[in-house]
Amino acid sequence: MGETAALAEYTVSTAYDDIPDEVVEHAKRAIRDYVGVAVYGSHHAVGDQIMNYVDRCMNGEEATVIGLGTASPTGAALANGVFGHAIDYDDTFESIVIHPTSPVFAATLAAGELVDADGKELITAYTIGCDAAYRVGHSTYPNHYQNGWHSTGTVGAFGSTAAAAHLLGLSVDQTRHAFGTVASASSALKKNFGSMTKPLHAGHAAETGLRAALLAENGFTADESILEGPIGYGEVMTTDGSYDNTEITDTLGEEWAVLDLGFKPHPSGVITHAAMDALRTLVIDHDLTPDDVEQVTVALDDAASEMLHHASPDNALQSKFSIEFCLAAILRERKAGIHEFTDAYVTSPETRAVIEKIERGFEENLFDAHYASYGARVTVETVAGETIVNEVKHHPGSPNNPVSEERLQAKFDECVLTVLEADETEQLASAIATLETDGAAETLFDLVRP
């Protein structure tokens, strides 16, 4: 059986009872993390921009737009995908550079409303979607990513398609056609990091994935083996012949992509997080202020250089891909959350002065990790002449360096309380924690729809 057919068969046949309990629990943790950042993102400038477009071109009442109202199903998928990635605070796989939940769960929500899905069905579709994104991603990684593609938008679209196809009850053949259709819509360029178009990648993947499934449901056709062959997706989206179809076909239903998910403690590119926590530890342990520090030098994996476009950022979007700003914020505040990643904070004279103290450097295969290693080494030279060093080999929030439940709950509260009241925030967290129980899905939709 070819890889497209194998992935379609898995998409159609997997049931809630097939999913281990630990996977269900981690999936709910990921859904909570996504909903939190999406609620905040719905009232962010990027969210405002995309909602203006959705209201004009994709309005309707069939599907919930988180924090704002309703739209057409594909319009809601687009908006909710953008909201989840609006401030770069959403989850990422540890073994591959993909933010899966923003595109996959945005499509899951919209398709789920169309079929009145319960919580178990939402969890199942989301888990299947993460597997599809993960496996197609790994089959083309790292060459696809190295060549300038943003995998969240490209292979994330396969995840969205799988989630929607499962919820819509498509047949194996229909699902193969849906994958064929979405393959032609798969696009996202890393060149757009630091702009509003980066979060659009996640929304685009959610929208096109749902659209492909809806078209297939109505008999729309595409190539049924889109992933394989000389001009199939795998070979076209890699440039060095490294496409590996066994990454898709092997261990389906045995290894679960959701367990590779990590959750961000900071709203910036994940490549910055190990360095931020390394410096945070030094600042707290040595009680450092900017006035105590002569220079901070950070070493990152060489592959990170292509993502960190903005040494001197002009706004909050650019600051998410500025290791200089991220470390300056930690040195100033001992934290970096939604209140630091604002235009006013980024451009303040105080922040600019601390940015001048930060020096970046890159090392090939730092810590002998995989491509685009998330690890970092931070060296601080103090005004008093002391040199102190800290290394963090796995980014905080990853399965190999998890952050505490208290820190994740605080992140959720910080984001949601900007939009909802305290009692609603607590109810929302509870609905997600019990999503597999009767009525929880309806509560989730009621709380995120104003």
CA atoms within 13 A on the CB side of 279: 33
**What's the CATH code, domain 270-392?**
3.30.1330.120
Between β-strands 376-382 and 387-392, what pairing exists: parallel, antiparallel or unpaired? antiparallel
Neighbour tally for 56: CB within 10 Å: 9
What pLDDT, on a 0 to 100 scale, did the predictor assign at position 40? 97
Residue 80, both tokens: 């909710």
Q: In terms of Cα–Cα distance, which of 245, 329, 334 is closest to 287?
A: 334
**Interacting residues of 430 by C-beta distance below 8 A, sequence separation 6+:** none
- Tell me which residue has tokens 């066994």: 246
| Exposure string over 207-241, b if 16+ CB within 10 A, otherwise e | bbbbbbbbbbbeebebbbebbbeeebbbbbbbeee
Start-end of CATH 1.10.4100.10 domains in the chain: 3-262
Residue 371, both tokens: 């491509």
**Can you tell me the distance from the alpha carbon of 222 to that of 158, in angstroms, rounded to the nearest whole number?**
14
**Can you tell me the distance from the alpha carbon of 135 to that of 129, in angstroms, rounded to the nearest whole number?**
10
Q: In terms of Cα–Cα distance, which of 193, 122, 181, 190 is closest to 157?
A: 181
Start-end of CATH 3.30.1330.120 domains in the chain: 270-392
β-sheet bridge partners, residue 392: 376
What does 118-135 look like in DSSP terms, one character per residue? -HHHHHHHHHHHHHHHHH
Q: Please, which pLDDT band fits residue 374 given cuts at 50, 70 and 90?
A: confident
What pLDDT, on a 0 to 100 scale, did the predictor assign at position 431? 98
What pLDDT, on a 0 to 100 scale, did the predictor assign at position 328? 98
In 114-265, which ranges are E strands? 261-262
CA atoms within 13 A on the CB side of 20: 10
**Can you tell me the distance from the alpha carbon of 388 to that of 29, in angstroms, rounded to the nearest whole number?**
36
Q: Which residue has the higher pLDDT, 87 or 307?
A: 87
**What's the CATH code, domain 3-262?**
1.10.4100.10
Q: Please, which pLDDT band fits residue 363 given cuts at 50, 70 and 90?
A: confident
SS3 string, 30-78, reads HHHHHHHHHHHHCCCHHHHHHHHHHHHHCCCCCEEECCCEEECHHHHHH
Q: Please, which pLDDT band fits residue 302 given cuts at 50, 70 and 90?
A: confident
Q: Please, which pLDDT band fits residue 370 given cuts at 50, 70 and 90?
A: low
What is the distance of C-alpha 53 from the center of its chain?
A: 22
Q: Is the pLDDT of residue 63 over 90?
A: yes
- Tell me which residue has tokens 């940015």: 355
Q: Please, which pLDDT band fits residue 301 given cuts at 50, 70 and 90?
A: confident
Report pTM. Answer: 0.94
Q: Is the pLDDT of residue 318 over 90?
A: yes
Q: Is the pLDDT of residue 372 over 60?
A: no
Q: Average pLDDT, whole number, for the chain?
A: 95
Q: Please, which pLDDT band fits residue 373 given cuts at 50, 70 and 90?
A: low
What pLDDT, on a 0 to 100 scale, did the predictor assign at position 369? 60
Q: What is the pLDDT of residues 393-437, one digit of tens each?
A: 988 999 989 999 999 999 999 999 999 999 999 999 999 999 999
Backbone angle region of 400, left / alpha / beta, with phi > 0 → left and psi within -120 to 50 → alpha: alpha
Q: In terms of Cα–Cα distance, which of 316, 324, 318, 270 is closest to 295?
A: 324
